[in-house]
Structure 1
């Protein structure tokens, strides 16, 4: 009977699984952090609107009435600024897919015995954390420049809505990047989507003040639910924003299902 060959240095299965995910996360963070162009594209629109639009319009419009509450315009605009940061960072994160393929890294990745589930999970975690990091930076700058009338419960509710929004838009842009295989087409769509999403949502104005046609567009605009969810959570508590957050959670579930399957199918074809 032949002797069984064993390897003394083979790591346990649990350790190998943990190392698998850790390696993917390290690679994703390195890829995103080293590309300064993508980081600038993600941060610049948010900072421009925060520093210029918020300051200018806050001097022009002192207060706005939102669902019966008199609110300073700077506080009314804060969810719009955070939502814009979410959209910009989600587009930046999804561009990494094209960078991998154009550089040949994707082929190298799938040449190794890397579990696809760990690769997908690593991309989701890295993408969402990048979106949250950039958006929290925007929030920190906003708090340093403006004063907001939110309570502790309001801040916590807005942060919870922000996390759900980050999950939804990271998944949405990931799905779009998987469906659109042309890098230039995705770049054009990603950059054009920011002003379209922002200005067809109740960002600078309330839903009631928008023209009827734009209200119809806003109803199917996912950014509407992110902005309203953060506003309602900040002003009235997390319970008042559950409908908007439920829509965002549904968008995230559908987007990650489409993006995950598409990503795994693309990996099989490499």
Structure 2
């Protein structure tokens, strides 16, 4: 008597959420870290201002009166250098979105049964960590060149505000990159926004010394709150940075919300 044939159909093993997220983060790191052009573009403005502008102007402007404290100009200028690094690296992370689309990788990713929340979270983790890594590199170079007499609380406050600023501007540029469909428009926006944001904020000077019109612009400039937050945290402690922290947190929530919705809309249009 012939034996009956039996077939076993086993469902595929479920994919772990952690493994999916890890794969997205690893891919983002490879995309951002292996592109030398992106790294050079992100690091160059910060190093130029750190090594040239800071050293040159510190000989011309010895001290700055900031909130009743006589602050050496090298210390006063440090938050501007860090903020420039944050904005440059955030723009670099945004450009990676267009690299995915032009290479066709975005279509493959958004066609894959991967939760959009994990994809966005992976971009968030990789982008913010890249921004932090580049900025911490600049901070390390600055600490080797200049003498920063910060207390332990000042260093902790500076790093906390740096994290908030990285989250806020990475979310802002990611939302712009996902919302804008033309990479040339985003490239122009990214390159133009850096000097506009930096020099319409109290970067090289206090807000009281700025012209009235520029003061109005500075009040709505998000980089103002990032620079003032890092400056106040390093000099006076984290307790003096409640308003900048709230502004940065709101920016991050709005940026990632807009970016997530735009990402879903793009995925539906495949």
- Normalising by structure 2, we get a TM-score of 0.95
SS at match of 1:5: coil
Deviation at 1:136, TM superposition (A): 0.2
Superposed CA deviations along residues 96-154 of structure 1, whole A, max 9, x for unmatched, are: 11000000001111222111111111001000000000000010000010001210100
Q: Distance in 1 between matches of 2:269 and 2:97?
A: 15
What stretches of structure 2 of length at least 5 have no aligned partner? 1-5
Aligned residue in 1 for 2:9: 5
Q: Structure 1 runs of 4+ off > 2 angstroms?
A: 2-7
> Helix, strand or coil: the match of 1:65?
strand
Counterpart in 2 of 1:66?
66
The match for 1:193 is 193
Cα distance between partner residues in 1 of 2:96 and 2:266: 15
1:84 maps to: 84
* 2:120 paired residue number: 120
2:16, 2:249 → 1: CA distance? Answer: 32
Once the two structures are TM-superposed, the CA of residue 180 in structure 1 deviates from its matched residue by 1.4
What corresponds to 1:227 in structure 2? Answer: 227
Paired residues, number: 265
Aligned position for 2:215: 215
Question: 2:250 matched to 1:246?
Answer: no
1:262 corresponds to = 262
Q: Distance in 1 between matches of 2:267 and 2:39?
A: 26
User: What SS does structure 2 have at the residue aligned with 1:39?
Assistant: helix
Give the TM-score normalised by structure 1. Answer: 0.95
Q: CA deviation at 1:6?
A: 2.2
Give distance in 1, aligned partners of 2:170 and 2:112: 26
Query: C-alpha displacement at 1:5, in angstroms?
Result: 2.8
1:37 aligned partner: 37
Alignment partner, residue 25 of structure 1? 25
Q: In 2, Cα distance between the equivalents of 1:59 and 1:149? A: 19
Distance 1:3 1:36 in 2: 52
CA RMSD, Structure 1 to Structure 2 (Å): 1.3
Q: Rg: which structure is higher?
A: 2
Whole-angstrom CA distance in 2 between matches of 1:18 and 1:63:
50
State the alpha-carbon separation in 1 of the partners of residues 32 and 133 from structure 2.
12
What does residue 3 of structure 2 align with?
A: none
